[in-house]
């Protein structure tokens, strides 16, 4: 049985972000055990198209060094299909509501400042503790999205646009998320967002040899060590343990009873085909709630990525003819809500990732938090 100071389970941005921070600090006695090294950010075989996480924001300062920007996403390049039919961003019917929109955009700048400070704090302290220091964000974290929309008089914008953004980015309606998640998603209307090419090699370069492709099936506490067993029969002992897998796996491996949040699920397809004439021309199509489908995005190589709530979606609703290249079920994709899964589980064990704030940047920072705790402990010895 091999003894290692730190075992990191999971090769998404959280696990790799933790490994990168340890490696950058010269703490190299670690091993990443993972089923893959892309997690929720897979690309098509030719790496031209993102098939999972799709966009980043200009404020993803921690993640930006590991991407090449593909193109800016502009929301006016969209067809917006709502409950009451199609509505364009530059529609005269929006005019009476512009003031509310402008006021909200200004308000989002305040939210952005608070969130940037939260990101800075959560690199070295738990989310719960960081939120306690910021009542403005804490209140939003616990507030239902629908109430936030009402309080800010955003009903019109939510009905025609924002709910579609929420569905396209988070796979759920505004009524199912918190004010905090709503605002994080809506930052995309104030600050630039981009399609990107994940350069995972750039992230793992300093510690590539410390990645073991395997699946962890059991974690046990043995004295003051963690014993980690993989499906291929390998066993490791470690002082520190970082579990950076999706929420369900982390809770099952560590036997954590966690109050689950709203489950966000989606079924996606990558395809080529001839889109119906009424949907042709624009880059993105935000699909109506009634359809049970979520969004359609045209790619530079002429293919499309389609997301639906329905496992049995029907592509002939949108295409005259098509050929499916690949499909994927994201079930669950992630959880959204106000129950916090504490990152520090005691006994040098950390659960990190997108459990509490489901965005790439925040997941990466939670990995940095685990690394910070491990380095802090090491400096005390």
Ligand X SMILES: Cc1cc2nc3c(=O)[nH]c(=O)nc-3n(C[C@H](O)[C@H](O)[C@H](O)COP(=O)(O)OP(=O)(O)OC[C@H]3O[C@@H](n4cnc5c(N)ncnc54)[C@H](O)[C@@H]3O)c2cc1C
Residues engaged in binding ligand X (CB under 6 A): 9-15, 33-36, 39-41, 52-55, 215-216, 244-246, 249, 266, 330, 333-334, 353-354, 358-360, 363
Distance CA 168, CA 158 (A): 13
- Nearest approach in angstroms of CB 311 to ligand X is 14
- Nearest approach in angstroms of CB 153 to ligand X is 28
Question: Under a CB-based contact definition with an 8 Å cutoff, are residues 223 and 3 in contact?
Answer: no
> Residue 81 or residue 165: which is nearer to ligand X going by CB?
165
> Residue 94 or residue 229: which is nearer to ligand X going by CB?
229
> Residue 40 or residue 338: which is nearer to ligand X going by CB?
40
Question: Under a CB-based contact definition with an 8 Å cutoff, are residues 5 and 29 in contact?
Answer: yes
β-bridge mates for residue 127, sequence order: none
DSSP helix/strand/coil, 343:
coil
Distances (CA, A) of 377 to 7, 240, 280, 287: 15, 10, 57, 49
- Nearest approach in angstroms of CB 53 to ligand X is 3
Q: Is 145 exposed, middle or buried (0-12, 13-18, 19+ CB in 10 A)?
A: buried
- Nearest approach in angstroms of CB 91 to ligand X is 26
- Nearest approach in angstroms of CB 284 to ligand X is 13
> Residue 14 or residue 22: which is nearer to ligand X going by CB?
14
> Residue 174 or residue 352: which is nearer to ligand X going by CB?
352
Distance CA 375, CA 381 (A): 10
DSSP helix/strand/coil, 335:
strand
Distance CA 192, CA 57 (A): 6
> Residue 319 or residue 335: which is nearer to ligand X going by CB?
335
- Nearest approach in angstroms of CB 25 to ligand X is 20
Distance CA 34, CA 38 (A): 10
Distance CA 318, CA 315 (A): 6
- Nearest approach in angstroms of CB 56 to ligand X is 6
Residue position matching structure tokens 């988070």:
170
Structure tokens at 38: 């892309």
> Residue 33 or residue 154: which is nearer to ligand X going by CB?
33
């Amino acid at each position: 049985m091999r003894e290692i100071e730190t075992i990191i389970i999971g090769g998404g941005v959280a696990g790799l972000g933790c490994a990168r921070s340890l490696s950058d600090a010269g703490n190299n006695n670690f091993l990443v055990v993972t089923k893959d090294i892309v997690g929720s950010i897979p690309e098509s075989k030719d790496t031209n198209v993102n098939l999972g996480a799709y966009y980043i924001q200009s404020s993803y300062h921690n993640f930006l060094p590991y991407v090449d920007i593909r193109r800016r996403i502009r929301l006016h390049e969209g067809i917006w299909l709502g409950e009451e039919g199609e509505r364009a961003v530059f529609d005269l019917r929006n005019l009476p509501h512009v003031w509310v929109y402008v006021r909200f955009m200004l308000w989002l700048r305040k939210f952005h400042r608070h969130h940037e400070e939260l990101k800075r704090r959560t690199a070295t302290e738990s989310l719960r503790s960081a939120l306690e220091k910021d009542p403005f964000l804490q209140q939003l974290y616990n507030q239902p999205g629908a109430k936030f929309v009402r309080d800010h008089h955003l009903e019109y914008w939510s009905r025609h646009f924002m709910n579609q953004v929420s569905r396209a980015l988070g796979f759920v309606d505004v009524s199912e998320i918190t004010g905090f998640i709503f605002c994080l998603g809506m930052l995309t209307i104030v600050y630039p967002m981009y399609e990107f090419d994940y350069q995972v090699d750039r992230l793992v370069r300093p510690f590539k040899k410390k990645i073991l492709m395997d699946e962890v099936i059991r974690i046990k506490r043995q004295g003051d060590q963690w014993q980690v067993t993989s499906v291929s029969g390998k066993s490791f002992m470690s002082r520190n343990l970082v579990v950076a897998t999706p929420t369900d796996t982390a809770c099952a491996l560590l036997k954590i009873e966690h109050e689950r949040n709203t489950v966000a699920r989606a079924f996606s397809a990558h395809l080529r085909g001839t889109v119906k004439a009424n949907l042709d021309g624009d880059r993105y199509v935000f699909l109506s709630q009634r359809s049970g489908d979520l969004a359609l995005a045209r790619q530079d190589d002429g293919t499309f990525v389609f997301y639906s709530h329905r496992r049995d979606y029907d592509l002939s609703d949108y295409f005259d003819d098509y050929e499916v290249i690949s499909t994927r079920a994201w079930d669950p994709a992630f959880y959204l809500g106000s129950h916090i899964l504490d990152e520090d589980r005691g006994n040098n064990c950390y659960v990190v990732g997108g459990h509490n704030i489901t965005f790439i940047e925040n997941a990466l920072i939670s990995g940095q938090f685990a690394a910070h705790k491990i380095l802090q402990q090491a400096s005390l010895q």
